[in-house]
Amino acid sequence: MYGFRFSIDNHKLTVIATDGYLVNPLEVDYIALEGGERYDFLLEANQGGGNYWIKAETFEIDGTSGPPFKFIDHKAEAILHYSGTDVPKPTEFANILNSPRQCSPCKMLDCPYGELHPSYNIECIGDDKLRLFAPTPASEMPEEEPDITYFINMAGYAGPLKPVSSLNEKHFSFPQFPLTTYYDKNDEGSFCDINSECELGEGEGRCRCTTVMDVGSNVTVRLVISAIGEERKAIHSLHIHGHSVHLLKYGYGQYSSENGSLLGSSRDLTCRDDGNDRDIFDKIRCPNPSFRSTNISFTLDKFTVRKDTFILPAGGYVVVQFRSNNPGYWFFKCYVELYYRQGMSMIIREAVDQIIAPPEEMKTCNSFIMDVNDFMTAIEDKRGSGYSVATSTSLLLFSNVVITFLLDPF
């Protein structure tokens, strides 16, 4: 449910990659992590010896007095141990000093806020400020101007009614049958387009369907994903299967100058009102977001950073872009299991006319054993009809950090 801020006492972190893509080196004091994100960094062991805390601390605060508000002591810890120094026993861990950061200001990468209250002495740096170390190949580059743009608002509700989570007021339900192998067995009426109007019925189970976003082949798709409306306090970690995306921009909510608390949604976006005074759910879900002005611009070039997992700031938005060059059914979701199981997810239905039907032998309840040659033979008759072989990606379940230690203290 909560993101972490990662740091190592008395050491800087030089970030060199995120989600598998090399970036221009950036020296920071903290790396903020939400579910599924990955960062590589270099660590220069320049302290001459000793033991130092490696920390992953949540962003939870007690909220009783501040700013700065005291962080709740929920953290994971390890020890950076220099060779030639005594290895501390468990009974001696308390003797390892917690060293305050000696920086003014300290720098935090992937900070989920546009800025923190000055009392925290932290400069926030969004991932959209990172630049790729090597250019994106031309075959993988989307166009600068999109062929299609989708506005998607993510909303949750945890009031007296049953908690719900949605995309454009739709609560995702999984299809009854696997799409790749048994698509035709699914009831077509159970699918709904991400931009379609919902049939609002009675009770809490309304607008529940298998939400899909249809994308053609080899087009440039822009997603403007927001968390605006009356229920906007959560920070989301978003993951897309089958693609990495170019991260164009983060937009942030409005924060109090007095205590740093979230006051309202980003002024860049608005919830379009269709004039129907329906109920509390409409105010929460904001089913029709749009930009308030046409003057908001984005820059995309071959060095724009790429990720497959990215944050959605509370009360803010994120803009990403990708090229639809991978036919298939791709899951898009909030990484927090509670939210996506409540319905904060959808399927990107990409270039369906180019998806190869699986061999009939695969459509059984028995063990499926087929080598590569047999598989290619089974689909050979379809490959000459404009089909291409769809690929897949694996799902990483946890945030992780790859650490390179330069252990040369002397």
Instruction: Tell me the domain boundaries of the chain.
Output: 4-132+397-406, 138-354, 359-387
Q: Report the CATH number of the 4-132+397-406 domain.
A: 2.60.40.420
Category of 303 on φ-ψ map: left (φ > 0), alpha (ψ -120 to 50) or beta: alpha
Judged by DSSP in three states, 140 sits in helix
Instruction: With a cut of 90, say whether residue 107 has pLDDT above it.
Output: yes
The pLDDT of residue 205 is 47
Per cent of the chain over pLDDT 90 is 47
The pLDDT of residue 126 is 95
Most confident of 99-113, 224-238, 310-324, 346-360: 310-324
In eight-state DSSP terms, residue 232 is: -
The residue among 331 and 158 whose pLDDT is bigger is: 331
Instruction: With a cut of 80, say whether residue 281 has pLDDT above it.
Output: no
Give the whole-angstrom CA distance, residue 254 versus residue 256. Answer: 7
- Locate all alpha helices (DSSP H) within 171-272, ordered by sequence: 179-182
Confidence of residue 163 (pLDDT cuts 50, 70, 90): low
Confidence of residue 13 (pLDDT cuts 50, 70, 90): very high
156 near 231, Cβ under 8 Å? yes
Confidence of residue 230 (pLDDT cuts 50, 70, 90): low
Give the whole-angstrom CA distance, residue 144 versus residue 133. Answer: 20
Q: Hey, what CATH class is 138-354 in?
A: mainly beta
Q: Do domains 4-132+397-406 and 138-354 have the same CATH topology?
A: yes
Over residues 151-157, the mean pLDDT reads: 83
Q: State the pTM of this model.
A: 0.83
Amino acid identity, position 342 = Q
The pLDDT of residue 242 is 96
Per cent of the chain over pLDDT 70 is 83
The pLDDT of residue 110 is 96
Over residues 4-26, the mean pLDDT reads: 97
